Structure 1
Amino acid sequence: MERIASPVRSRARPPTFMRLPLDRDPTARDLVVLGVPYDESGRCPGTRLGPDAVRSVSALAHVPGADRGPGTFDLVDCVDGGDVDLTPPDPDTDTGRGPGGVPETLYRRLSHLLTGNATVLLLGGGRSLTVAALRAVAERHGPVALLHLAADPAEDHPEDEVRCRAVQEHLVDPSAVVRIGLRGGGAPDRAGGAATLDVGRFGRLGVRGAAGVVRHRIGRRPVYVSVAVDVADPAFAPGTGTRVPGGLTSREILGVLRCVGDLCPVGFEVTGVSPPQDRSGITAALAAEIAGELIHEYARAQRIPM
């Protein structure tokens, strides 16, 4: 019997966000997408798998902003920087995974990236890592404003604790914080000064009214934009661990984020995707759309003609 030679297998390129070029040590870029494969304990395990899931589904997404003028990636120089290496530095200890180790690792990586690049968009990670990201951003820009979209605070990772720490460390300007999407009223604002639009107030104001509050409160201060995908109703994002109905729709989230281009954004994160809790993939698809919209709004914020 004649043997048939097996075809030569080409090496597959690692998936990147929206098929952007992969550059693990970028310099002089407008924006670097960075995965944070980190799994926090609590109500939403599996978030370490979020960055890969978002990248995979993003390959099928449309180029953000293409329906509003030139494609975003024709306007800003973006690359995918791969994932943050969260491997413990010493195998005999767990310092790379402990509560101090992972945030410090992320801070060092971001601090290095922001010395040679304009801004970073984080995919994945957990809410406890927001402070580490803010440390790196504030190191370059000083205390920043904060636009935070999230559902009601989880008991183990309360957003109020995150903001309190950020204010105490002078990373965030407490008078320029806007919280959108909390359900059940959320936690009391112990950090002080935040404009809180829970789902009830958001519903009364609508997307346009909520965007007006954001513009008025934040103005032209440098702003860090944090979106936890659990801000969406579970019908639109079942893979976040939140089962309480009444969140924002996908259209409302993307609609309110369109005001970011009127601000001065200096950093972004999209967190909370847990693929094991959503086999349909729609949570990862929503996260990819949110991240794409944020990149487009970053291009608008640079006042690039479109």
Structure 2
Amino acid sequence: MSLKSGKLTVPLRFMGSSDNYTESSIILVGVPMDFTCSFKPGTRFGPQKIREVSIGIEEYSIYMDKSLEDASFFDAGDLDLPIGNPEKSLEIIEEAAGEILKDGKFPLFIGGEHLISVPIIKKVYEKYKDELVLIHFDAHADLREDYLGCPLSHASAIRRVIDFMPSKNIYQFGIRSGTKEEFKFASLNTNMFTLEVYEPLKAVIDKFKDKPIYVTLDIDVLDPAYANGTGTPEPGGISSNELIKSMGLLKDLNIVGFDIVEVSPPYDLSDRTAIFAAKIIRDVILMVSDYENN
């Protein structure tokens, strides 16, 4: 497998993508995996749908005051994963992330379920070691040791990250769902901020000024009114405007990797969830380009 060819599965590309891997500083990769979804599957269709609807938004972002015409990114397509084999799939994802990092480029992954984040973060951590900070936006704590006896589950994504990364480097925002044990674990290990995102992020953001940061964004951090197309919707979430404002707080930080997960098109009849995800991806591309050019 080589991302450079741009000949992975799904020929559809994100709006404004370059045709040249080598000359692009940001590499976008889709990961169509939903093998461990605990409620409603369908996130494997997320990457393709997000690309499809990306043409419905403008290349110019009013938030970044910049256009994709000014950015350099390459959409490599979707990884070809063995359905039903999460272990092998995670190996393939890790290999792809490693290739991007080895080539000195920015990894931007579209899920798929949240478990896909683990091998990507692992490769980024190997590069930056204990300097790396993880910012986690989600409705769910994702701190179960296992789900129904399975340690490789989207319900255990952040717990699996803690297998190799210091838990105190992990900052969780918007969390409003989890077991009692997960919240107790978080109180002793991670930095968890429940229910809200913008205000707690604003309060701690100075801690990250000189740190490399990886951001993992589960779309269900939003209230289902704004993002109904997800497999485990959780009422009581934040608005799309709060998330956009929160992303704006990251603009001047050293973001070194990003993923957006859990968009599930079968439940997104209006495409509102996929469109919002496309908008976030556009702004992340522009945000990273902005930082690299400074």
Residue 115 of structure 1 and its aligned partner are, at CA, apart by 1.1
Residue 297 of structure 1 and its aligned partner are, at CA, apart by 2.0
What is the alpha-carbon distance in structure 2 between the residues aligned to residue 78 and residue 33 of structure 1? 7
Candidates 216, 219, 241, aligned match of 1:251: 241
State the match for 1:7 in structure 2: none
State the match for 1:292 in structure 2: 282
State the match for 1:140 in structure 2: 127
Alpha carbons of structure 1 residues 128 and 197: separation in structure 2 relative to 1, 3 Å:
same
Candidates 15, 19, 43, aligned match of 1:18: 15
Residue 97 of structure 1 and its aligned partner are, at CA, apart by 3.9
2:256 partner letter = V
Alignment pair present for 1:216 and 2:206:
yes
1:256 partner letter = S
Q: Deviations over 1:191-228 (max 9, x none)?
A: 644222211xx2xxx73x33323413433211110001
SS in 1 for 2:96: helix
Alignment pair present for 1:107 and 2:104:
no
Aligned-CA RMSD value: 2.4
State the match for 2:47 in structure 1: 51
Q: Deviations over 1:127-159 (max 9, x none)?
A: 112111112212322242101111124674465
Alignment pair present for 1:62 and 2:58:
yes
Query: Do 1:16 and 1:80's aligned partners in 2 also have CA atoms closer than 8 Å?
Result: yes
Query: Do 1:22 and 1:81's aligned partners in 2 also have CA atoms closer than 8 Å?
Result: no
What is the alpha-carbon distance in structure 1 between the residues aligned to residue 129 and residue 23 of structure 2? 21
Query: Do 2:64 and 2:283's aligned partners in 1 also have CA atoms closer than 8 Å?
Result: no
| Residue correspondence of structure 1 range 201-240 to structure 2 within 5 A | 202=196, 207=198, 209-240=199-230
Alignment pair present for 1:261 and 2:251:
yes
Alpha carbons of structure 1 residues 243 and 84: separation in structure 2 relative to 1, 3 Å:
closer
Alpha carbons of structure 1 residues 251 and 109: separation in structure 2 relative to 1, 3 Å:
same
State the match for 1:42 in structure 2: 38
Q: Normalised by the size of structure 1, how large is the TM-score?
A: 0.80
What is the alpha-carbon distance in structure 1 between the residues aligned to residue 11 and residue 86 of structure 2? 29
Query: Do 2:118 and 2:161's aligned partners in 1 also have CA atoms closer than 8 Å?
Result: yes
Alignment pair present for 1:81 and 2:76:
yes
Q: Normalised by the size of structure 2, how large is the TM-score?
A: 0.83
Structure 2's unaligned 5+ residue stretches are 1-9, 148-152
- Indicate the structure (1 or 2) with the bigger Cα radius of gyration: 1
What is the alpha-carbon distance in structure 2 between the residues aligned to residue 210 and residue 18 of structure 1? 33
Query: Do 2:29 and 2:77's aligned partners in 1 also have CA atoms closer than 8 Å?
Result: yes
What is the alpha-carbon distance in structure 2 between the residues aligned to residue 125 and residue 181 of structure 1? 20
Structure 1's unaligned 5+ residue stretches are 1-12, 89-95
What is the total number of aligned residue pairs between the two structures?
272
State the match for 2:158 in structure 1: 163
